[in-house]
Structure formats: structure tokens, C-alpha cells
Amino acid sequence: MFTGPEIETVFAELGITHVVWIPDTAIGPWEAALAGSSRLRLVRVCREGEAWPLAAGLHLGGQTPLVVMQTTGLFESGDALRNVLFDLKLPIYSLIGVRNWLVPQSRDTAKTFAEPILSAWGLNCQWIADPADKPKLAEHYRRCRAAGIPGVALMAEGAP
Amino acid sequence: MRTLNDRSQVMPVVDALRVLADLCCDAQIVVTNQGSARIWPKLRRRSLDFHYNPSTMSGAIPLALGLALAQPQREVVAVSGDGSLLMSLGSLVTVVGSGVTNLTIVLLDNGLYEVTGGQETPAARSAVDYAGLARAAGFPSTAEFRDLADWQTQAADVLALPGPRFVRLVVSAAPAEYLTSSTPPLAEQLTGLRVAVSNE
């Protein structure tokens, strides 16, 4: 969907200061551009459950973090997400790669449960399912920032 | 010879935390959670203290790490229970990998899931060397104390070692009256912390 330099530019132009992530095969190729960026900092966590409170600390410290992970990590980190977005009420934005979304015959349950889980949380979501959708990421991020609410960009992925 | 899981010598947790509270400077951020979040407010009240309740277990260390990354000019202390740390031992690796030097993790090790009534953690009867785990993860400075007098006399020096630092305090369970006390309202804490952090 996005190349590394493309996504680094999008994130930097949005004013994101830290990308807190665990990559997957679709997001992983962004690493060189993000790690080499002079405009933002890449923070690697060992488990997705760390990403949400780490982003919370960055936010409370005056920075503008973004959480990036795959659907599997979203499921794993549900309680941390719940705490940060709903108990602490922090407007953390995230980009979630949805594994196998672009593979119609796939019966991957990571694909099946992505939308229902986010719907259950009541989170404001934006699909990035096609290259033509790329501008929607920045538009949705800005809308969520302006409203002071968390938001999720769901990035459709192919097979891992 | 004493084994690592020997709990015949522990320090009273309130006294152990009081040593830390007395040493905290005005510019320092302190993140507590679970049991310590209930004890600390009775010892000291500052707007740079964040009592992370309701928390998600294992969240205090990453949250403190985020604050340390965001505020590199300040020292940040995370007070974590052993049950919380066990839920995300990888957070020790995350801390070191982030490159922060302004973070201290103080582990209150009582071998218990304290706030749920004092059930044993899986490590309660095991020889888990938490300071050794931190050293293996790459922490340049680690220490361990079982004796209150030792902690009282050495704490200032330990907290001045190169960061990130890891300090294991082998402590007693918290007195019941502390576990039933509430933490300051979350909204009030968040507002106070934001204002305090923005004031250099």
C-alpha cells in the first residue's frame, strides 16, 4: 500500500513524533524509512500490550505517538487498549494491518474478527483498502485529532 | 546459604517506599500502580506522581518509559509489583532497546498478587533472580535489597548510577488498611500531571 518513504512523509507531516510498533510482513518494509527518519522516532516493543501504555506515557509527556501493529497484536493487547483509550481517555491513534483482508478466499480468523472487535470497542475506524484510499489516512487522523478522540486506520493486507 | 527465593528477610513495604519518596526530587516523575499506588499517596503528594489505577497489569513500566522518552530532561521512576512485571518481562528488553537513560524501575517483590487477596505468583517459590534478568536484558545498573537499613543507606547512591536502573526490593505484603485506600481521582491526576510536565 504505502512505501516506507511515503508513510514516513505522511506521519511526519501529521506531526507524529513517535511510532510505537511491532511490524508484520506488510508493515515491516517501512522500518528503514521510519528508523532512519530525522522527523520522528521509531520505538520497538516486545509485545503489543506494551505499545498502548508506552504511547500513553509519550502523550502525557507532551509528544504525539502513533501505535502500529497487526490485527493479531490488536487482539493480544485488548486490555491495554481498553485501559488507555477508555479508562485514561487518551486520544491515541493507531494503524492496524489487517492480515489477509485482500485475499477473498482466506478464512484467516485474524481477518474475520478485525471489524467486529473494533466495532465492539466503539472505535472510530477508517479503512485503507485500496491505493486510492491512501489520502484517507491523513484525513481521518486529522478529524480524530480535531475531535480529541482515538481513531484506528485499518490497512488492508494480502497474505503474509 | 540463602536462596534467591528466601523470604525470611524482607523489609516492610511502606518503609521501603518511604525511602524512595523521601529521595524524590521536585522534577522527578513517579509512576506507581497496584499496591504501590495505594501506599504512595499516603507518603507524599506531588503533581508529578501518577498513580496508575485503574491500570492494566504490566502497564506501569511501559507508561513510565513513554514519559521518560517524552521528557528526557527528567528522571522517571516506575514502581512495579512482581506480578505485573511477570506479565511482561519483555518490557525490560524494551526499556533497554529504547535507549533511555533517565528511567529507574523499582520492583516491589513480595511474591504475591496483592490486590486480589494475596495469591502467590508463579515465582513465589522459585529462585527468580529479577536483578539478574535485568542485567541480562542490558540494564547497566542493578541492585537488590532485603534489609531496610541497607536500602536506607544505599538508595541515594543506587539511584545516581547510570540509567536505566533496576532495583529489586524484597518486601512484605502491604498492610490491609493501605490496600483498601483509594488513589486520587484519575482525571485530577491526569490534569495535574499534564500541567506539571509542561512546566519546566
Mean pLDDT for all residues in chain A: 97
Does the distance separating the beta carbons of A50 and B197 come in below 8 Å? Answer: no
- The count of other CB atoms within 10 Å of the CB of residue B200 is 7
- Residue A47: which of B67, B88, B194 has the nearest Cβ? B88
A71-83 exposure pattern, b = at least 16 Cβ within 10 A, e = fewer: bbbbbbbbebbeb
Q: What is the pLDDT of residue B3?
A: 53
pLDDT classification of A1: cutoffs 50, 70, 90: confident
Which of A46, A47, A57 is opposite residue B66, by nearest beta carbon? A57
Report, as an integer, the average pLDDT of A12-28. 97
Question: What cell was used for A133?
Answer: 484510499
pLDDT score at B9 = 87
pLDDT at B1 over 50: no
**Any chain A CB within 8 A of the CB of B136?**
no
Residue pair A49/B56 in contact (Cβ under 8 Å)? The answer is yes
Range of the domain at B155: 13-198
Quick one: A139 exposed, middle or buried, by C-beta within 10 A (0-12, 13-18, 19+)? exposed
| Within-domain flag for B126 | yes
User: pLDDT category, A27, cuts 50, 70, 90?
Assistant: very high
Asked if B132 has any chain A CB less than 8 Å from its own CB, the reply is: no
Q: Between A and B, how many residue pairs show a Cβ–Cβ distance under 8 A?
A: 103
Give B50's contacts in chain A (Cβ within 8 Å).
60
Q: Average pLDDT, stretch B52-76?
A: 93
Q: In what order do the strands lie in the sheet with B165-170?
A: B49-51, B29-32, B76-81, B103-109, B165-170, B141-145
Which residues of chain B neighbour A51 with C-beta distances below 8 Å? 62
Is the per-residue pLDDT at B34 higher than 90? no
Q: Please list, in sequence order, all residues whose beta carbon lies within 8 angstroms of the beta carbon of residue B71, skipping any fewer than 6 positions away.
A: A61, A62, B29, B102, B197
Residue B200 pLDDT level (bands cut at 50, 70, 90): low
**Residue B55, pLDDT score:** 74
B198:A44 CB<8 A = no
Domains in chain A: boundaries: 4-156
**Is the residue at B5 inside a domain?**
no
A56 touches B: beta carbon within 8 Å: yes
pLDDT of residue B180: 83
CATH number at residue B65: 3.40.50.970
Residues of A in contact with B59 (CB under 8 A): 49, 52-53, 80, 83-84
Measured in degrees and rounded to the nearest 5, phi and psi for residue B89 equal: -60, -25
Query: To the nearest whole percent, how much of chain B has pLDDT over 90?
Result: 79
Q: Give B77-135 pLDDT, tens digit per residue.
A: 999 999 999 999 999 999 999 999 999 999 999 999 988 889 999 999 888 999 999 99
Domain A4-156: top CATH class = alpha beta
